[in-house]
Structure 1
Amino acid sequence: MADQKNQPPKQSQINIELDEAVAQGIYSNLAIINHSVSEFVIDFVTIMPGIPKSKVKSRIILTPQHAKRFLKALNDNVKRFENAHGEIKDYEQPPIPLNFGPTGEA
């Protein structure tokens, strides 16, 4: 028993599957983020020039804790990308008027 106390705890592994349809991914050039007390909702949209109507292609719902972890992970990855490839230029774009239905709250 004493030997087990000195050993680091074993980490469990998670087996994550990725089917072909999901592996193809969905292109998005707009993310709309809303939140309530209990969740963050991120809608990914593809807007095409000259086409006045678009649809939400994917929706991700996160707890506030997972949203904060996601923000940190994305920030870390952007920093690593910029260290390897140079600064990502953030070009100013005019605001897009959105007609996104009623504002909801969960």
Structure 2
Amino acid sequence: MSNEPKEGQLNIELSEEVAEGTYSNLAIITHSTSEFIIDFIRIMPGVPKAKVKNRILMTPEHAKRLMRALADNVSKYEAQFGVIREAEGPQGGGMPMTFGGPKTEA
């Protein structure tokens, strides 16, 4: 078999560094007339400041495709593993800004 991509097929390279991924437990989305900006953030317990770990910019058309792809994948996930429960944050929505578990002191 040949590793040559077939006509119309996209060959995508994934470096080891990118393959490791970056964990995020918060995404903030903003937009203008021409682009969507998604900031991926990691919030850690006991750390008062969080940093943006990755920022992705895309056109509105690509943002809509991403939205559909995410919805499709969430549906497939829930069909296999059950409904994903959402934690209620402040004012009945969003992510809670505290982490569960016992509070301890050393």
TM-score, structure 2 as length reference: 0.78
> For 1:39 and 1:63, how far apart are their aligned partners in 2?
5
Q: Which runs of 5+ in 2 are unaligned?
A: 1-5, 98-106
Determine whether 1:28 maps to 2:24: yes
TM-score, structure 1 as length reference: 0.78
Partner of 1:67: 63
Q: CA RMSD in A?
A: 1.7
Partner of 1:6: none
Within a 5 Å distance, the mapping from 1:1-106 to structure 2 comes to 12-94=8-90
Q: Which runs of 5+ in 1 are unaligned?
A: 1-9, 98-106
Q: Secondary structure at the match of 1:81?
A: helix
Per-residue deviation at 1:96? 6.7
Q: Secondary structure at the match of 1:12?
A: coil
Per-residue deviation at 1:54? 1.2
Higher relative contact order (CA 8 A, sep 6+): 1
* Identical residues among aligned pairs (%): 59
Q: Secondary structure at the match of 1:71?
A: helix
> For 1:85 and 1:15, how far apart are their aligned partners in 2?
31
> For 2:89 and 2:7, how far apart are their aligned partners in 1?
45
Partner of 1:5: none
Question: Aligned in 2, Cα 1:50/1:90: closer, same or farther, shift over 3 Å?
Answer: same
Partner of 1:7: none
Q: Secondary structure at the match of 1:26?
A: coil
Q: Which runs of 4+ in 1 moved over 4 A?
A: none
